[in-house]
Structures are given as structure tokens and as C-alpha cells.
Amino acid sequence: AKDYELRQYETAKWVSTVIRGETQKEAMRQGFWKLFHYIQGKNEKEIKIDMTVPVTCLVKPGCTDFKISFFVPFEHQDSPPQPTDSDVFIEERKAAAIFVRSFGGFASPERYAEEAEVLARILRNRGQPFHQDFFYTAGYDSPFKLFNRHNEVWYFKK
């Protein structure tokens, strides 16, 4: 469809952390740095890992817990180094069909919420079954990239 796409993602490992009781913006900041330290060598093998995209954030409307995640690069998928920070963990996300809406610019929590609502409305209008109790935000750019930015919101297909 012109206003969203349906992607099939394979099973993959992500490195994640949950930040509780903060605003989404603050949770993203704190979570990003915890995960950045992991890829900079704060792991059992003390190895540096390439930064990957997207950086995702699990949002459950009305909840102040946010799970921030980095995709584990393909060369580490089989056995990612274990984090040494007890707040950071490796998770395996099962294969899934995901509805994706893309947009540009600098994404704020408010903009992500607006785009998620637009996507949810489109999916409901088209009779597409999806998990409505949560969505993911996905950011693809460094904060220093000023133009042609790429952001997404994801709903999982039922």
C-alpha cells in the first residue's frame, strides 16, 4: 500500500534494555547509552561491535516502561557476547509479519505516537488484524544527520 508496507522479518537476536518510569525521550537517551557501552566493549568478550540500525523502542501506550534495542550484527547472531551490565540482555525476536509506516524528519515521541495512530487507523479501516496494545518505533539515523532522515513505526500482524 502507498501509506504502509507489510514486511516479513526472520528470527533474530537483539541487545536490549528496559528503562522504567521515565519519559520516552529520557528512556531512549538512557537506553541508547547502555546499549552503546555494550557495543563499545562492555561485554564478556570485551569486543567492539559495529553499530547497527534500526534502534527500536517498544511502546505500550499508558505504560512508562520502554524497551530499547539494537539489532545484533549478522556476524554475531549465532553467539552474541553476553552483556556485563545486568540491565542489558540479549533477546531473540521470533519471525514476524510487521506493518511498517515510514516518515522523515526528526522524530519525537509525539510524532511517533501520531504516526502510530495514523497506521493503526489505516489498518483498522482495511480490516487488517494487528496487535493494538503495543508498537515499536524504529530510528535509522545518527542525531547528527540533518537531512533525508528515516523513521518508522511498527505494528505486528496478528
The average pLDDT across 151-156 equals 98
User: Look-up: residue for cell 535509522?
Assistant: 140
Per residue in 56-90, pLDDT tens? Answer: 999 999 999 999 999 999 999 999 999 999 999 99
pLDDT at 108: 95
Instruction: List helix spans (H) across the chain.
Output: 24-39, 109-125
Write down the domain spans for the chain: 5-156
Q: How many CA atoms within 13 Å lie on the side-chain side of 88? A: 25
Task: Please say whether the beta carbons of 10 and 83 come within 8 A.
Answer: no
CA distances 158 to 27, 49, 52, 131, 133, Å, are 28, 33, 27, 6, 12
Residue 63 one-letter amino acid: C
Specify the DSSP element, H or E, that contains 91.
strand 88-93
At residue 113, what are phi and psi to the nearest 5 degrees? -65, -40
Mean pLDDT of the chain: 96
Percent above pLDDT 70 for the chain = 100
pLDDT at 1: 76
At residue 23, what are phi and psi to the nearest 5 degrees? -70, 160
Q: pLDDT class for 143, splitting at 50, 70, 90?
A: confident
* Range 5-156 has CATH code 2.70.50.60: no
Task: Please say whether the beta carbons of 43 and 81 come within 8 A.
Answer: yes
Asked if residue 99 has pLDDT above 80, the reply is yes
The average pLDDT across 48-57 equals 96
Per residue in 113-129, pLDDT tens? Answer: 999 999 999 999 999 99
Task: Please say whether the beta carbons of 20 and 30 come within 8 A.
Answer: no
Give Cβ neighbours of residue 94 (< 8 Å, ≥ 6 apart).
11
Per residue in 6-39, pLDDT tens? Answer: 999 999 999 999 999 999 999 999 999 999 999 9
